[in-house]
Structure 1
Amino acid sequence: MHHARLRVAILLSAAGILGTCTQPPSLLEQIRQTGELRVVTRNSATAYDLDGNDPQGPEYQLLRGFADELGVRLRLLVVQKPSDVLPKLTTGRAHVAAAGLTINPDSERLVDFGPVYQQVTEHLVYRDGRRPPRDLSQLGSKRLEVPAGSNYVKTLARVQSQVPELVWTENPHAGQRELLNQVASGELDYTLVKSDMFALYRSFMPQLRVAFNVAEGESVAWAFPKWGDGSLREAAERYFARIRADGELDRLLDDHYGHVASPNHLRTKHFLSDIRTRLPAYRQQFKAVAREFGLDWRLLAAVGYQESRWDPLAVSPTGVRGLMMLTEQTALRFGVEDRTDAMQSIRGGARYLADIMKRLPAELGELDRTAFALAAYNMGLGHLLDARRLARDSEADWNRWLHVRPMVRKLADPAVAARTRHGQARGGEAVWFVDNVQNYFNVLAYMTRDELPLPDWMAPRSPAPLEVQAAPGPSDATRLAARESPHGDNG
């Protein structure tokens, strides 16, 4: 009996001791306790850009949303080279790596990847006018360069087992943007570029052509340390599942890539030529009128080029005329007496565009407001409002051009138009108008980047700091360190 009581006492004592021992907190719990999520990223148009004090980039926006969901601060460690990203993660400096990383066998041995949120392709690009190779075995003595330490090096190394004669140079001093510029100018024969990056730059460099795809179906995802317990990765999986289900992911990617329409290369070449030969005669007029009405002169000039190729005497078969191609009714409404007078036409077009923008909802974002205004400029505000109502009735977001755009096209369908207030419209033409004006604006913005700041979504940016801390919520990121990156967009 005594021994039985002793055993019970020992068991109760042991249970008490065990009860006071708690499991160590998970990685997710540690992050919530410290109130800080540390992420390593790079200065890149497709990851993180700093425009003045305003952080931008798809990875940054995704990370900001994730940190907000966790209720913690976002601390970014911005590295200069692609090869520096994963070491920051594996050595414990960061909890997450988010730098446009693509999943590959080499990286999977070092880190665990989260959910795939984007698919990209790696292109080999060359300059228009030169004979394109059909595959990597045809490069011969031509120069192929890629940024040192980039994923492109791993891609080429894998291909080299099938193409042993393949030779390339890893450039430690030039990033993606610089190498694309060199190919476009003819200084370099070839480079590799991911499809998302190419989408951002092709409007500004119309000389670039895709010869072929070197790697297809590359999956973009965040990376997590193997030393973690999986709790943070699981939280990221829940976050991506939510933003994918409610459409937030599509909206975010469209904010960064949806404004870039596929350019007509011949049209872009003519545009570049006309910038040199025709624009100088009207440049100061565009600037003066744009200041008067609070518009970006480059947008006004892009509209003028789409309408008339900057020809003040242009006339259409429907009777619209002048540099901004105004109807008689619009000219009368906005005080234009002579539609063939360039200054009067520009001022009339600017007043019309500014009037449309003022009548659009205040909650629209800049890109959506501009796209809506351009569509209304082309087909009339009433038809645009019809398209927005169609989007709302179909439970789409009627404040997003991404969702309203297909409804604009549907206005050409008599059956659909019969349900609207303003009837049938040439919606396909309006979409085409918006795409072209946006492309012309992109080119003008890039060519005048030393004169005016680029729009928020457009690269290149100011050099990024190595570490940036962003408070949760709507406040801007705060610079902690000012060491600059010499180049970005390394792929």
Structure 2
Amino acid sequence: MLTGTYKRVAAGLLMLPLLTGCSYSNELDRVLEAGELRVLTRNAATTYYEGPAGPTGLEYHLAKGFADELGVELKLITVSSVSDVVSELRQRRAHLAAAGLTITRERKNWARFTPPYQTISQQLVYRMGTVDRPDSISELNGTLEVLADSSHAERLRELRKAHPQLTWMENGELETEELLMRVSEKAADFTIADSNELRLNQRFYPELRAAFDISDPQGLAWAFPRGPDDSLYDAAVDYFERLKANGRLAQLIERHYGHVEKFDYVGTHMFMRHIRERLPDYRELLERAAAENDLDWRLLAAMAYQESHWDPKAVSPTGVRGFMMLTQATARFLGVQKRTDLWQSIEGGARYTRKLIELVPERIDHPDRVWMALAAYNIGYGHLNDARIITQRKGEDADVWKNVKKNLPLLRKRAWYENTKHGYARGNEAATYVGNIRSYYDILTWLTDQEKPSPEELQANFTIASPAL
């Protein structure tokens, strides 16, 4: 935390008017005095949203970290579209925009951008099986709908100079995720999305594909309104330099994107079908076991799917069996009498998951602590500790899941596992195991967040306040 540093600098700057006889206060001073940093953002998976554990999203965590360094409160101003971000920032309704904005030539006319924190490319998106995949802009045949005032629209204007026949519609009401849904539902033939947005949303709309990139790699960055005062902007630039230097930026990007690097169409499509056909039979028991062990039932369901594809009679070649695929040793430890008994398996798996979470040191941040516990569920807590020790020996932070995940495969290499307490293990499988569960969990969270409350729930939440007499 550099809060003290910023406040000492600010205190020195605030003394200048007394020494020089003039009145002066820069933007950083004013933010520190007000105790509030106002940040424009968008409600989207790549920026900011309310997750099961509270506010999340890459832009949220970046902005929260900056506000914490300044020692001020973060005030998020959520707008509904890129057009609104542009309008609000140009009117200086916020100090900055952290909204997944691409650095473009047109935007540089009215905004100052920090160094990029992430690199993306713009991609033409279509629905597999609905239209033929075009290989170039000249082969585009169908309706193309993009965000208004977006980098995508700007790029299309550039492309139209070489392709005068190119036409599109700009939508100022919807977000990228909603345009992707329109393509998935055949309401539009094509849209443009940043590669990171498509990667996250393909899990929810598995028929979507990228036809080709329409741009070279571009940077995403924070935008500040142009003006003579660079104090807050300079502080943000310094902040990102520190994040890159200490590895925190890479950790945050891994947290939000590391589990979706590889898209599995067949597996995702099957999972969506099993949610419809199998999950309803087991949801009540999953919710009950999760509640009893202070877990999100969707995480428990994601684990169960990775273990058995929600099959209570599943048996592995190694003799692991049941809905949660408990080993004989784990079942004995938990007091589970019959591993193929549905409730015993679910309850035992939930209880074991809670025990593993509590074994992982409490100092480890959420959700990294959970991901390490899931790795231990798959590979054993002893092997997880071996991987963390290897991580330490390599001079890396063993309390960060990104680092441990990278080193888990070393448990298969003799040069490393011979010097561990528990020896050889298929650490690469544990890393894949956790990544799959994270993807299943994201899909379940996305689907259940769209559910409408039942009439009983509506009635329970409906109260009439009596007038004061």
TM-score of the two chains, using structure 2 as the length reference: 0.85
Deviation at 1:240, TM superposition (A): 1.4
* Alignment-derived partner of residue 288 in structure 1: 288
Q: Secondary structure at the match of 2:66?
A: helix
CA RMSD of aligned residues (A): 2.5
* 1:261/1:439 contact within 8 Å kept: no
Rounded to whole Å, the distance in 2 between the matches of 1:134 and 1:281 is 44
Rounded to whole Å, the distance in 1 between the matches of 2:55 and 2:314 is 43
Change in Cα spacing, 1:368 to 1:122, as seen in structure 2 (3 Å) is same
Unmatched segments (≥5 aa) in structure 1:
1-18, 454-491
Deviation at 1:385, TM superposition (A): 0.8
* Alignment-derived partner of residue 408 in structure 1: 408
* Alignment-derived partner of residue 81 in structure 2: 81
Rounded to whole Å, the distance in 1 between the matches of 2:305 and 2:87 is 49
Rounded to whole Å, the distance in 2 between the matches of 1:59 and 1:115 is 14
* Alignment-derived partner of residue 208 in structure 1: 208
Structure 1 residues 451-472: Cα deviation after superposition (integer angstroms, max 9, x where no partner): 599xxxxxxxxxxxxxxxxxxx
Change in Cα spacing, 1:53 to 1:393, as seen in structure 2 (3 Å) is closer
Deviation at 1:392, TM superposition (A): 1.9
Rounded to whole Å, the distance in 2 between the matches of 1:82 and 1:332 is 56
Unmatched segments (≥5 aa) in structure 2:
1-18, 454-469
* Alignment-derived partner of residue 399 in structure 1: 399
In the TM superposition, 1:54-453 aligns within 5 A as 55-130=55-130, 131-140=132-141, 142-450=142-450
* 2:80/2:175 contact within 8 Å kept: no
Deviation at 1:423, TM superposition (A): 0.5
Rounded to whole Å, the distance in 2 between the matches of 1:298 and 1:288 is 12
| One-letter code aligned to 1:128 | M
* Alignment-derived partner of residue 478 in structure 1: none
Rounded to whole Å, the distance in 1 between the matches of 2:331 and 2:20 is 83
Q: Secondary structure at the match of 2:100?
A: coil
Structure 1 residues 11-66: Cα deviation after superposition (integer angstroms, max 9, x where no partner): xxxxxxxx955484444344445544443333333333356995433223323332
Change in Cα spacing, 1:267 to 1:358, as seen in structure 2 (3 Å) is same
* 2:83/2:172 contact within 8 Å kept: no
| One-letter code aligned to 1:180 | L
| One-letter code aligned to 2:365 | G
Rounded to whole Å, the distance in 2 between the matches of 1:265 and 1:295 is 28
In the TM superposition, 1:444-483 aligns within 5 A as 444-450=444-450
Rounded to whole Å, the distance in 2 between the matches of 1:30 and 1:445 is 40
* Alignment-derived partner of residue 49 in structure 2: 49
Structure with higher helix content: 2
Rounded to whole Å, the distance in 1 between the matches of 2:49 and 2:303 is 28
Change in Cα spacing, 1:106 to 1:355, as seen in structure 2 (3 Å) is same
The structure number with the bigger radius of gyration is 1
* 1:261/1:435 contact within 8 Å kept: no
Q: Which runs of 4+ in 1 moved over 6 A?
A: none
Rounded to whole Å, the distance in 1 between the matches of 2:279 and 2:51 is 28
Q: How many residues align?
A: 434
Deviating more after overlay: 63-72 vs 112-121: 63-72
TM-score of the two chains, using structure 1 as the length reference: 0.81
Deviation at 1:417, TM superposition (A): 0.4
Q: Secondary structure at the match of 1:395?
A: coil
* Alignment-derived partner of residue 485 in structure 1: none
Structure 1 residues 60-85: Cα deviation after superposition (integer angstroms, max 9, x where no partner): 33233323333444444433332233
Structure 1 residues 361-401: Cα deviation after superposition (integer angstroms, max 9, x where no partner): 11233321221111111111100011111112222121111
Deviation at 1:311, TM superposition (A): 2.1
Deviation at 1:88, TM superposition (A): 3.5
Deviating more after overlay: 319-328 vs 31-40: 31-40
Q: Secondary structure at the match of 2:260?
A: coil
Change in Cα spacing, 1:448 to 1:328, as seen in structure 2 (3 Å) is same
* 1:81/1:149 contact within 8 Å kept: no
Rounded to whole Å, the distance in 2 between the matches of 1:52 and 1:161 is 46
Q: Secondary structure at the match of 2:419?
A: coil
Rounded to whole Å, the distance in 2 between the matches of 1:366 and 1:334 is 25
| One-letter code aligned to 2:364 | L
* Alignment-derived partner of residue 479 in structure 1: none
Q: Secondary structure at the match of 2:218?
A: strand
Change in Cα spacing, 1:69 to 1:328, as seen in structure 2 (3 Å) is closer
Deviation at 1:292, TM superposition (A): 2.4
